[in-house]
Amino acid sequence: MVVFPSMVNGLGPCKGGVIYWPAQSPGFGVAVTNVFSLQHPGAVDHGLERNPGMPYSPECFDRLRINRSAVERRAATLPARRSVKKDFQAAWLLKAITCIDLTTLAGDDTPGKVRRLCQKALHPVRRELLEGLGVAELGLTTGAVCVYHNLVPIAVDELEGTDLPVAAVSTGFPAGQTPMHLKLEEIRESVKAGAREIDIVISRAKVLTGDWRGLFDEMKAYREACGEAHVKAILATHELATLSNVAKASWVCMQAGADFIKTSTGKEPVNATLPVSLVMVRAIRDYHRLTGYKVGYKPAGGISKAKDALAYLSLMKEELGRDWLEPNLFRFGASSLLGDIERQLEHHLTGRYSVAWRHPVG
């Protein structure tokens, strides 16, 4: 019988991989950390309380400089040395399913397609596979269903009577090049339609021009417009030019009250990667150390294979700990990942790989 392990053998504290260049203390020539949270005692942990944000504090991030080569070396070790097999692998793949935001964001989305996607989210793995794994009674579902704003009512209607939340992309997704008042109204309308999670896109121009205060004010306005709905801040990391910008944008969004920070829209040439993810989760770790509040993480775009999901779960376990292996703090933004996971689970039971069309997503 396969069960969800609380941890995987061999996963422990991270080792190696210095991420931040040290800054020189003026007049002394002594290297000191430029990670603001490490200069202060750890805050009291607030458990799963929602991140309320904090006052705009550029001193938390303005000295951050990311050592790209160290990041890439550290990230490259994850797939190579964090390998799980057999029942452990099956258990971790089942865990990955619970953290998927099952997504359709295409021009040909229809009400029928969204309804099928919702049913797949409620029943992500075929019944006979769950019975074979001994987990048929767990009530396994994905973490959420993510759609465009105009299809939120369809998804809400299809999921009525369940606890599965609907997430809506908003604020002029994917480019974010619409007037601010329209962005805020789009958020309010999605929440009014029943969306419980809002995936917003930040203005990349504010990052590229160093307008950190402007980005903070923008993100804070998005958070207020969301009300009780949780807000995920999409950084579109490929368009931010440097890993230092990624780290700083992560800090600003968390200070402004983001519940999650998210890598990508899925529409960029390069979306989620392990090096970018490492930078962002280190920012989450430092923010938690400083404030005591836990912020979620969502890699999105380009994660289509089960082995990729395992690498990201290992990253979260090593860098942030067991709490970040639950859907309230970790999500995959994916459309085809679920099909490959189901295929791997069938192989685990039968020893044979099935063709992809046996595992449709929606």
Count of Cβ atoms closer than 10 Å to residue 179 Cβ: 9
Q: Residue 139's pLDDT band (boundaries 50, 70, 90)?
A: very high
Q: How far apart are alpha carbons 287 and 262 in whole angstroms? A: 15
State the architecture of 37-358 in CATH terms: Alpha-Beta Barrel (3.20)
Is 199 noted as a catalytic residue in this protein? Answer: yes
Query: Token match 């994917």: residue?
Result: 174
3-state secondary structure 219-253: HHHHHHHHCCCEEEEECCHHHCCCHHHHHHHHHHH
Candidate list 183, 262, 294, 317, residue with the active-site label: 262
Q: Alpha carbon 37 to chain centroid distance?
A: 22
Claim: this prediction has a pTM higher than 0.85: yes
Domain boundaries, the chain: 37-358
pLDDT at 117 over 90: yes
Closest C-alpha among 35, 18, 78 to residue 288: 35
Q: Please confirm, yes or no, whether 262 is among the known catalytic residues.
A: yes
Q: Among the options 183, 206, 248, 298, which is catalytic?
A: 298
Q: Which of 101, 183, 199, 220 is catalytic?
A: 199
Query: Which segment of 25-29, 187-191, 222-226 scores lowest on mean pLDDT?
Result: 25-29
Instruction: Decide if 163 is catalytic.
Output: no
Edge-to-edge strand order for the sheet containing 166-169? 296-298, 260-262, 230-234, 197-201, 166-169, 144-147, 100-103, 332-334
**SS3 category, 344:** helix
Q: How many CB atoms lie within 10 A of CB 168?
A: 29
Rounded average pLDDT over 119-141: 95
